Amino acid sequence: MINELMIIIFAPLLAGVLAWLLDIKGIREAIGVIGAAIPLAYLIQAYQTLSTQPSIQYSIALAGFKFEFLLYQINWIFAMIAGVVGFAAVLGMVSTAKDSYEWLFALISLTGVLGVFLADDLAGFFIFWEVMTFASFMMVLKYNRKASLKYFLLSVFGAYAMLIAIGIIYAKVGALDFATIQQVLYQDAMRGAFGTDTLFSRNEMILVFGLFLIAFGVKAGMFPLHVWAPDAYSETNQSYTAMFSGVLSKAGVYGMLVIYILLGTRLMYEFGKFGAAPKFGYIIALLGGLTIIVGGLLAALQEDIRKLFAYSSISQIGYILVGIGVGTALSIEAAIYHAVSHALFKGLFFLIVATIIYRTGKTEFKDMGGLAEKMPITFAMAFVAILSLAGIPPLVGFASKWLLFEAVIHENMPILGGMIFFGSAIGFVYLIRFTYAVWFGQRPTDLDDTKDAPLPLAIAMGILALLNVVFGIAPGLVAKELNKIFGKEVIGGTIYELNLGFGRYNGLLITIWLVVGLVIAAIIYFLGAKVRKVPVTDTYQAGNPVTMEYNLTIRRNFFLPLKETLAFWLRISFDRLYQDIGKWIEDLAETMRHYIYNGSVQAYAWYLAIVLLILALWGV
Amino acid sequence: MVDWRLFEPLFEFARKRSLWIVAFCTGCGGIEMPPLMTSRYDLERFGMMPNPAPRMADLFLITGYVTPKTLKRIIITYEMQPDPKYVLAHGSCPLNGGIYWDAYNAIKHLDRYIPVDVVIAGCMPRPEAVMDGIKKLMEMIENGTADGWKRYRENYEWYKKNQDELFGEGWREREARRWIPWLMDKKKKEK
Amino acid sequence: MLMIAVKAFLILLYATFMGFMFMGIIRIVTARIHRRVGPPIYQPILDTIKLLSKKSNITHGLIYDFGVIYALGATILALMFIPLGGVSILRAYGDLILITFLLEIPMLGIMFAAMSSGNPWAGLGAQRALLTLLAIQVPLGFAIVALAEFYGTFSTYEIVMAQQTVGWSITHLPLLLAAIAYDIVLQAMFGKEPFDIMIAPGEISLGPMVEFGGKHMGILQIQHAIALFAETLFFSNIFLGGAVVTAFASPILNTIASLAVLLIKQLAVLMIAIFIGVIFPRFTIDQAARFYWKWPTIIAAAGAILAAL
């Protein structure tokens, strides 16, 4: 009965319930951390097993359903993301979680996401999906009702879409486990290729694909379904957001991969190809490209540190979608690589945000500044994270972005290529805004006694920052695991080198030469005369003397010219569109309530009579 | 760390031939700068360049009369420049008050407040005269007599005393705070 | 190992020297267009010596120093990856995307240093620099995409070799379009008018550079020289055919000849930038963004799409 997969999935749930029941400060934290550490330990152990056998399988019969669980290379990678980032986030929560309520739901959502990754049939997939959504909804609900409702509505919308799609598949195929569905659809595609009648019609395929796209797009935060993400990501415990954004959004990405695994061949047969990419994939990629641009531009214009990173998270997910959409072996590997690095640097970023908010209690850029001197450790971590997200070699963000660039451009996709280039620049832009407003410049006097990160958060950040550096210098470590997915050497090279045949990247070499360059520069620097430290008030203000009462930093509307340039586009808002639709539905319901459901028994009796009359006339 | 005395002549040559000017025109003589910089007299021949930021500038041109209000800015900007730095006073007014010799609101002797290396007399000096002054300054840099920055450092107490006598002690902070109510008022209006 | 070190040192020396000469040429040519005499060509070297020999320096903290060092270090790193005739050491790894990124990193270092000073001008300059970066990235991206798609490889060295057989990149229509767009982008990368919005002397007091003085500015001058060399070199390599001279028997002569060929091409690129720069006034930042997102983007995208067909 007790299987390692079950332990991986249910250990966090158990720990969460225990922590909630005991609710003793100190003990609940310990239980929570252990609950997050157990899946990680078992997953690392499973690596050994997976090197000898292709997969680990387990099935459980419950209430007439047979739930299948399977651990193999792809979802091992995703589960490892969940394990590592989840563990780091839970460590961060030791400092920031306020009560046992948060422990319960944070750990339940970890269970949910692990279940989604490991499930091998659509029923289990759907149930864990709902568990994950519900738990994360509860986490948001505690902080902000409105944001949580928005999240809930869109999630429910997505969940229904998925349920309908699953229903259609079940009705046609008669099974829910992945293996059967994959096989049946593959045979269906073959049948179509030979000209005989297919099981699914063209419209049904469009419907199923569209529904799945909505379901997974909502979770991944794909444009134009991203509107819940900025509110939900920002209005919750920021340590938890490290998991929320780093791992839970990956469930959506994993879902897109599931589309490929289950429906890939059939969809490819039905719609054909666009260049090297399947047409259905190109839709995902194009939406991903739009997600990059929209998310990035909006991130640059935010005034709230949490919102900035929420939008940035959306933008980065766009890269992953582009990679998955292009659909060659290389681009899918690149996308998964970027999923790994996104989880690492975005998890790190949200932990940094958690630290800043925990220590200062402020969330808006206008209240911050000059914290680099007061929080050197956190700043060092932020430095790593910034370089990684901006795609500066030799950090993991560059390795994955580089792969993605090469994969997309090599397939002759100029539009997508332009989009991802734009995305990398907009990354610089919003990161510098964060750096400038939080770490540098004039420090408001009320932040003068800010302390550095508490120990658990520092450890959690340290783990993620270390992985950022290690996987950047030795990108082959990840690439080796990714190659196992396809069972062939898609990304060649050694542990330090990625070699695609048409492009090479060597992390170690770059590190060495960067160090050489830095040493040369440092020699020139140290040959010069000694430096004297001057305060921020001793800067050139056209000769005017200033004191700390003056505002020397651009605190609000940092990218005002950008806003002006984009004024026309910024008027278009999907958030407002959805709100208007919501309001319209509300109005409709109001009208209906007024005229039809008016609460009068007599009226209801009349309705009944009319219905009966119609049925009678119909001849039932 | 390294003994650079051997290279001192090279440095002096570089300093001489690469005087960057603070583009901070303090008086009416600023009008003489455009012909100096442009094609008629072309100061860039000598490697001189107007430079908006004092941190990387060497030469401070005091172009004309100095009032207490500008003197405050001059002192602050002068102190911001890294050593070695040179001051070239331009016109009679900074030298002895010039036509403002009895004005209540002009500084008569600039060299009581900051050290001046070269003074060019005249009201206004023609660009040729200014170039002559610059030539003189270059010679002085070469033979090491343009040591105003050294004098300022050594006799800082004296300069400080003179400055404080004129403006009163703590004038920097007072000057800075003077504008805060005005800024606050402006902020309120914007709202 | 020793050979590599010697080569790297020579490349660095050559690039720095030539970069300074380029800076001098910019000043002289600008002066001549103004009908002035202009400074001697070695003027930037004198400036740098003067800045480095300043007797007092200021700092605004660790990041202020590190940002400057990082900028120079990253520029040296970028230089090593660009093929330079027959002598470059890391050209096997000279990936288009990598070099494009590496040429942008130094600016990040400068921005970090500038922003950590807390000067409002520097903040404003950083904002403008980033928006310029954002504006140029779209045409730049399309130009790079066009190149990669046309040649089917990302290796700069292979692109140079391919051009020896199929002719210069700019003789092919898609890449000609890409080259035009890239050249307009180069104007902003050099920080020349009409896109010197980030520096804007007289308007925002040199923007990010306002607080740098003494040795910090000296290091940035060296960085600017190397970056100028690297950027023109990159352009000459990918669009103007680079230089592979095999006419002589001695490899040293070949190297010198190819360096000379490259130098001529680099100077041509530089001259275009100077001529455009001298006759144009400055854009405002939103005008620049709109401009870059319109014409260069359309040209480069047309090139990329043509190359993909």
Domain with B79 in it: what CATH number? 3.40.50.12280
B1 or A575, which is more confident: A575
Per-residue pLDDT for A104 more than 50? Answer: yes
* Contacts by A530-534, CB closer than 8 A, 24 or more apart: A530/C57, A531/C57, A531/C58, A531/C59, A531/C65, A532/C56, A532/C57, A532/C58, A532/C59, A533/C58, A533/C59, A533/C60, A533/C61, A534/C58, A534/C59, A534/C60
Residues from B contacting A (CB-CB < 8 Å) are 1-2, 24, 53-55, 72-74, 76-77, 80, 172-173, 175-177, 179-180, 183
Cβ distance B176 to A547 less than 8 Å, yes or no, reads yes
Chain B residues with CB under 8 Å of A552 CB are: none
AA identity, residue A152: F
Cβ atoms within 10 Å, residue A374: 18
**With an 8 Å Cβ cutoff, are B47 and C57 in contact?**
no
What pLDDT was estimated at residue A2? Answer: 60
Query: Can you count the helices (H) and strands (E) in chain C?
Result: 10, 1
CB contact under 8 A, B72 and A545: yes
Q: What is the pLDDT, as a whole number, of residue C24?
A: 92
Residue pLDDT, tens place only, B170-189: 888 888 888 788 877 776 77
How many CB contacts within 8 angstroms connect chain B with chain C?
92
Q: Going by DSSP bridges, is the β-strand pair B118-120/B86-90 parallel, antiparallel, or unpaired?
A: parallel
Residue C153 has phi, psi (to 5 degrees) of -140, 160
* pLDDT tens profile A220-230: 888 778 888 88
Contact with chain B for residue C38, Cβ under 8 A: yes
Neighbors of chain C by Cβ distance (3+ pairs < 8 Å): A, B
Helix and strand numbers (H, E) in chain B are 9, 5
pLDDT of res. A1: 43
At A210, the pLDDT band (50, 70, 90 cuts) reads: confident
Tokens representing residue A370 in the block: 């000059």
Contact C141 A542 (CB under 8 A): no
Whether residue C57 and residue A406 make contact (CB cut-off 8 A), yes or no, is no
| Average pLDDT of chain B to the nearest whole number | 84
CA B42 to chain C, closest CA, distance in angstroms equals 6
Residues of A in contact with C77 (CB under 8 A): 510, 513-514, 516-517
**Residue of chain B whose alpha carbon sits nearest to that of A529:** B1
Q: Indicate if the pLDDT at residue B25 is higher than 80.
A: no
What is the per-residue pLDDT across A29-80, written as a single tens digit (0 to 9) for each? 888 888 888 888 888 888 887 777 777 777 777 766 777 787 888 888 888 8
What is the 3-class SS of A534-565, one letter each residue?
A: CCCCCCCCCCCCCCCCCCCCCCCCCCHHHHHH
Residues of B with CB under 8 A from a CB of C: 4, 7, 10-11, 13-15, 17-18, 20, 23, 38-39, 42, 44-47, 51-58, 81-84
Q: Chain A: nearest CA to C36, how far in angstroms?
A: 30
Contacts of B55 in chain C (CB under 8 A): 58, 210-214, 217
Cβ neighbours of C131 in A, within 8 Å = 429, 559, 561-562
Q: What is the mean pLDDT of residues A159-171?
A: 85
- Look-up of token digits 């091992």: A76
- Are B47 and C43 a contacting pair at CB < 8 A? yes
- Name the neighbours of A, counting chains with at least 3 Cβ pairs within 8 A: B, C
Write out the residue range of the structural domain in which residue B156 sits.
5-190
Per-residue pLDDT at C16: 92
- Residue C24's closest chain B neighbor by CA? B47
Q: Which chain A residues are Cβ-neighbours of C133 within 8 angstroms?
A: 425, 428-429
Q: Give the list of residues 6+ apart from residue B15 with CB closer than 8 angstroms, or none.
A: B58, B84, B141, C50, C53
Query: What is the structure's pLDDT at A63?
Result: 67
pLDDT at site C21: 92
The answer, for A123 touching chain B at a CB cutoff of 8 Å, is no
Residues of B in contact with A538 (CB under 8 A): 80
Task: With a cut of 80, say whether residue B116 has pLDDT above it.
Answer: yes
**Most confident region among A129-143, A403-417, B127-141, C234-248 by mean pLDDT:** B127-141
For chain A, give every domain's residue range. Answer: 1-197+214-239, 272-539+548-572, 579-618
| Token pair recorded at residue A553 | 């930093």
Residues A264 and A287: their CA atoms lie apart, in Å, by 18
Do residue C134 and residue A425 have CB atoms under 8 angstroms apart? yes
DSSP C281: -
**Taking CB atoms and an 8 Å cutoff, what residues of chain C touch B47?**
39-40, 43, 46-47
How much is the average pLDDT of B66-91? 87
Identify the bridge partners of residue B90 per DSSP, sorted by sequence position: B63, B120
Q: Could you tell me the two tokens for A139?
A: 């986490």
Contacts of A542 in chain B (CB under 8 A): 73
Query: What Å distances lie between residue C293 and A515, C137, C288, C297, C301, CA to CA?
Result: 36, 9, 8, 5, 11
Token pair of A391 as six digits: 């795609």
pLDDT for A620: 61
Is residue B191's pLDDT more than 80? no
- Contact across the interface for B56 and C51, Cβ inside 8 Å: yes
Please give, one letter per residue, the 3-state secondary structure of A120-186. CEHHHHHHHHHHHHHHHHHHHHHHCHHHHHHHHHHHHHHHHHHHHHHHHHHHHHCCCEHHHHHHHHH
Among the partner residues B47, B52, B82, nearest to C205 by beta-carbon distance: B52
Q: What is the ipTM of this complex?
A: 0.90
Beta partners for residue A62, in sequence order: A65
The answer, yes or no, to whether residue A272 has pLDDT greater than 80, is no
Query: Which residues of chain C fall below pLDDT 50?
Result: none
CA–CA min distance C236, chain B (Å): 30
Query: What is the DSSP code string of A433-500?
Result: HHIIIIISSPPPGGGTT-----HHHHHHHHHHHHHHHHHHH-THHHHHHHHHHHTS-SSBS-SSEEE-
What is the pLDDT at residue B1? 53
Task: Answer whether B42 sits within 8 Å of C31, measured CB to CB.
Answer: yes
Q: What are phi and psi of A56, to 5 degrees?
A: -115, 130
Q: How far is A151 from chain C (nearest CA, A)?
A: 31
A323-335 per-residue burial string, b: 16 or more CB within 10 A, e: under 16? bbbbbbebbbbbb
Gyration radius from chain B CA atoms: 18
What percent of chain A is predicted at pLDDT more than 90?
0
Give me the residues of C, 197-226, that contact B with CB < 8 A.
Answer: 201-202, 205-206, 209-214, 217
**CB-based contact C39 B44, cutoff 8 Å:** yes
Decide if C300 contacts C146 (C-beta within 8 A): yes
pLDDT in tens, B124-160: 888 888 888 888 988 998 888 888 888 888 999 999 8
Question: What CA–CA distances, in Å, run from A52 to A55, A70, A73, A418?
Answer: 9, 15, 12, 42
Number of domains comprising chain B? 1
Per the document, the length of chain B is: 191
